[in-house]
Structure 1
């Protein structure tokens, strides 16, 4: 098998895994809606820590710190840009998809998927939850860190998953909102990395 065939096969496997994960998340939305509730999660220190992984300025600070460490190697500034632009682009993708999908956030009293008509504020994503912006940003940033520091990838993705969990616990999103966002966040940052960053030597 050639290198190209191997890469294509790997991407196909990842795509199948992503589709299965999204389908399973939708199947479990009702269970998560009923049993995974902690409305005070954002009042707890650990909850604020995890949610901040989906806060874009957090990645701006991380990118700045990386740039300061690597500023003697101008070419490596691409790594710092990846830490900022990967999450930023992903956040933009989330906002556009919310306007297109238009699925509302969970109703705490009734489990249902509700959608806002396009005629009702076509350019407003107020109250929309698919996909989760926080989760998309968190997983996009984690994907870049996983490229830079692969031995610690489990840590970056655990923090991103924690961010997703806070959004479900707070009833801000359905489980499927966060799983779709996780898949998209990793995809956007990985594609960005492969297109603009990968040719550089490791830091």
Structure 2
């Protein structure tokens, strides 16, 4: 099977982005302006779910709590339990906060005009390094945060990914439907929000923090009991035992992150 080269991928991505800018953005803005008042009120309520405060503050509080309790309650079991809590909440905090920070930096560097300026400057006006509230449209911070949150929870709970990403998509779309972002703003925010936690997971796995590389490729949590509690696919949990068998000289079947046996 032939895969796209990096150059071909870049051309395809730029083409899709151009289509979004030239066709989809003005169309979605026009359709958003035709929504009823009740629909606008509903999406204004939905859009607040994309704020990062309710994701980061509890996560930071749990992280601090676990660090304090780990120092006060010594013992192998307590240390392991609080260590797992610290790793999990640390991963979530770094993923969501990091994605949000990158979004803020990109917003101010790119300086795309918000939709409310469409009638005066159009939808393709960029003021690089403007650092003005009217020129921080791309990427959508709400879309970035909610998709980062969905990616983090989806990494821990793979069976819930469809539901999580569907909810995140509606929350991101609400930014478009209430007229504060263009469609491409939300899409690029979603891409950033999804990508960043997976980059963080890779860095964690390289250091064997919370995650590790699975046999034959992919990633998995280092705690089998947590896998069972999160209802991970049985094939992934069996791979823990397979690792031990491989170490003893018995062959094991490689398992990918999503729980499918490779080569099956």
Structural mapping, 1:43-82, within 5 Å: 43-44=41-42, 47-48=44-45, 50-60=46-56, 63=59, 73-76=81-84, 77-82=86-91
* Residue of structure 1 equivalent to 2:109: 100
The answer to whether structure 1 residue 174 and structure 2 residue 182 are counterparts is: yes
**TM-score under structure 1 normalisation?**
0.76
Q: 1:25 aligns with which of 15, 20, 24?
A: 20
Task: Please give the secondary structure, in 1, of the residue aligned with 2:124.
Answer: coil
The 3-state SS of whatever aligns with 2:20 is: helix
Counterparts of 1:147-186 in structure 2 under 5 Å? 147-186=155-194
Offset of residue 153 of structure 1: 0.4
Q: CA deviation at 1:130?
A: 0.6
Structure-to-structure mapping, 1:9-20, within 5 angstroms: 19=13
The more displaced of 78-87 and 167-176 is: 78-87
- State the secondary structure of the residue aligned to 2:180: coil
Query: Number of residues paired by the alignment?
Result: 187
Cα separation, partners in 2 of 1:201 and 1:103, compared to 1, 3 Å: same
Q: Deviations over 1:16-40 (max 9, x none)?
A: 7x93764553341121111134476
Give, in angstroms, the shift of residue 63 of structure 1. 3.0
Q: Mark the runs of 5 or more structure 1 residues left unpaired by the alignment.
A: 1-8
Shift of 1:192: 0.8
Report the CA distance between 1:163 and its aligned residue. 1.4
SS in 2 for 1:130: coil
Aligned partners of 2:94, 2:40: CA distance in 1, in Å? 26
- Tell me the distance in 2 between the aligned counterparts of 1:28 and 1:164: 15
Q: Secondary structure at the match of 1:131?
A: coil
The structure showing larger relative contact order (alpha-carbon pairs under 8 Å, at least 6 residues apart) is 1
1:90 Cα deviation from its structure 2 partner: 1.0
Answer yes or no: is the 8 Å Cα contact 1:131–1:177 preserved in 2.
Answer: yes
What's the counterpart of residue 126 of structure 1? Answer: 133
Q: Report the more deviating stretch, 33-42 or 75-84.
A: 33-42
What is residue 113 of structure 1 aligned with on the other side? 124
| Cα separation, 2, equivalents of 1:155 and 1:170 | 23
CA–CA separation in structure 2 for the residues paired with 1:88 and 1:182: 14
The RMSD of aligned alpha carbons is 3.4
Give the whole-Å Cα distance in 2 for the aligned partners of 1:36 and 1:42. 9
- Whether 1:188 aligns to 2:183 is no
- Structure 1 residues 182-191 or 18-27, which shifts more? 18-27
